[in-house]
Amino acid sequence: MSDITSGDAPPRPKRSGLQSIRVPEEIGVIAALLVLVTIISIHNSAYIAPANLLRLLTNTTFYGIIALGMVYLLAIREIDLSVGWMFNFSAVVAAILMRDFGVDPWIAAGAGVLFGALLGLFNGLVAIGLNLPAIIVTLGTYSMFRGLSLVVNQSAAVIPPDDTGSFFQMATAKIPIGGGETPLLEIPLVAIIFLVMAIVLHLVLHRTRFGYRVQAVGSNPEAARLAGIPISLVRLQTLVLVGAICGFSGSLFVGFRGAIDTNSGQDFALTVVAAVIIGGTPLSGGWGTVIGALIGALIIAVISSGIIFFGIDQKWSTFVTGAVIVLAVAVDQLVKRQRAKRLMASRIE
């Protein structure tokens, strides 16, 4: 009990030989991603051109970053439906500070992150204060944040007047790889930021006290409470974290695109939740995979772009994404049942 109370993960039995080799939990979604890319590239070899794959990664970045944070929420059995409009509203605030108040873009971007955290704090306080699941609260704040964003931006795109500053240069920068004066590849910095955030958030979830508490609350709330973990505080911290991540993604989007329009982010909720579920994080909570969410976001992007490469109407991409979610949930349930059967059989033996 002392180990749990202190926030340290319980010790695992040592293994030796072949038993010490652990297959990554994300191996299934990685294989699925490779299969999808292979199928599309067989149909059209241009698909695996490095420039196209980097473009794919870049297009995934902004909702993918939010998906990384959503892993924490699903790990505590929560879902935030307002993430798209926290993204949009935070970006609008950052852009208006640049345009109407002449605030330095770096400071305005920081304000966008802080504003996103405040929106997440509002979600958390209402959910905890009314003792409601976050999905119910954010069903309401989805419309609230959307309406307020439209009021603030006056139903028009917000375009900072000067996009030549260092913040915009950073957001649009590309890192050259090899080739001397003519690089072989130019990797967008925002894509690198996406990958670095995935690594950092993975380590936070699986190597820190906060991450352990998140998974403990999702695994067994009553046991977590008896172990002295403040469940309400963990819920609040997680919702604030997701809000801050939405604000970060929104501010980065303003730097990358040089503007924020009224519709950006409106469909993020479905895409983000889909990426997390496809990536392997169970709806039942207690565990999450940030790396899996990254791969899940890429799978959605591959599906959407692959449909175009096959000459299919883009409208089908939403249907296919939904079908993949249903398939991922079905597979998750089958895996759980098989694990339960094996556990029961081992106990009987």
Please count the structural domains in the chain. Answer: 1
User: Is the separation of the CB atoms in 138 and 80 below 8 Å?
Assistant: yes
Q: Is residue 2 part of a domain?
A: no
| Whole-angstrom distance, CA of residue 224 vs CA of residue 270 | 30
Q: Is residue 17 part of a domain?
A: no
Supply the pLDDT for residue 6.
43
Q: Which two tokens stand for residue 335?
A: 């895996």
Supply the pLDDT for residue 339.
67
Residue 188 belongs to what H/E stretch? strand 185-188
Q: Which two tokens stand for residue 291?
A: 């790396």
The model carries a pTM of: 0.90
Tell me the residue range of the domain where 212 lies: 25-172+188-344
Q: Is residue 349 part of a domain?
A: no
Q: pLDDT tens, 92-117?
A: 999 999 999 999 999 999 999 999 99
Beta-ladder partners of 260: 158
Neighbours of 238 (CB within 10 A): 26
Q: Is residue 19 part of a domain?
A: no
User: Is the separation of the CB atoms in 53 and 70 below 8 Å?
Assistant: no
Supply the pLDDT for residue 192.
97
Q: Which two tokens stand for residue 74?
A: 């699903």
Supply the pLDDT for residue 178.
77
User: Is the separation of the CB atoms in 86 and 246 below 8 Å?
Assistant: yes
Give the domain CATH number at 137.
1.10.3470
Q: Is residue 64 part of a domain?
A: yes
Q: Is residue 120 part of a domain?
A: yes
Whole-Å CA distances, 316 to 42, 267, 304: 21, 15, 9
Residues of the chain with pLDDT under 70: 1-23, 179-180, 336, 339, 349
Q: Is residue 66 part of a domain?
A: yes
Burial, 67: exposed, middle or buried (Cβ in 10 Å; 0-12, 13-18, 19+)?
Answer: buried
Q: Is residue 15 part of a domain?
A: no
| Whole-angstrom distance, CA of residue 139 vs CA of residue 304 | 26
